[in-house]
A and B are shown apart, each in its own frame.
Chain A
């Protein structure tokens, strides 16, 4: 069965950075697009970034563009999200998700359990 396991969250000071990881199993990772979505405490869902199956197509939300880099290592079945210049408004649970499609974002077919990033001084 499909499994997505995120790690890397934690408490970070404003202006700091961190890298989130998502290890995938149960499907052919290199064949699907992958995404990051976040959810601030008590709030709705916000799309963050998408990466195509081969890493060539990358798309970002305006709210994080320039501060976030999505990447993947298909040999390790792992998705990454590097986030820098963190702001308090970046505080959220970050979910990785598998897309139905390979090269363009469509949906969040399977989700990880999420990892909490808390930006606070």
Chain B
């Protein structure tokens, strides 16, 4: 199975900050990676597919980059509504696997 490792596990930042966290795959997955946002008590929401393609309706302050084994997710100018846990997910090979999540909090 492909292991997805996200870091950090939690992150505290101030409103307006630029926030970046990473996701590393245990083997190369080209760009077959998606990012999700999950707010407490809610279902996750797909934000970015294929490593860098923003889903329709997702604010442009969110972005993703990377290929192979190393990926990053960035929020420009952190907003209160961005408080959530963020997950990466690979679909290069079955089984589909998720990272353990990065929990984002307001400082």
Contact = CB atoms under 8 A, between A and B. Distances in A.
Interface of A: 44-47, 50, 59, 61-62, 95, 100, 105-114
Contacts of A95: 43-44
Given A44-B87, A108-B36, 18 more contacts: A44-B98, A44-B99, A44-B100, A44-B101, A45-B36, A45-B38, A45-B44, A45-B89, A45-B98, A46-B98, A47-B96, A47-B98, A59-B94, A61-B95, A62-B95, A95-B44, A108-B34, A114-B43
Given A44-B98, A59-B94, A61-B95, A111 B89 contact: no
Given A44-B100, A114-B43, A107 B94 contact: no
B91 to A, nearest CB: 5
A50 B96 CA distance: 10
B18 interface: no
A69 to B, nearest CB: 17
14 contacts: A44-B99, A44-B101, A45-B36, A45-B38, A45-B89, A47-B98, A59-B95, A105-B91, A106-B34, A107-B49, A108-B46, A108-B89, A112-B43, A114-B43
Contact of A107 (B43, B46, B101): B46
B45 interface: yes
Contacts of B46: 107-110
Main secondary structure of the interface of A (DSSP, over half): loop
Interface string B66-107: 000000000000000000000101010011111111000000
A109 B45 CA distance: 8
A98 B97 CA distance: 17
Contacts of B96: 47, 50, 105
B94 A113 contact: no
Contacts of A46: 98
Looking at A106, A107, A111, A114, which has the most chain B CB atoms within 10 Å of its CB? A107
Contacts of A59: 94-95
B36 to A, nearest CB: 7
Top 7 A-B pairs, shortest CB-CB distance: A111-B43, A47-B96, A45-B98, A107-B34, A106-B91, A44-B100, A44-B101
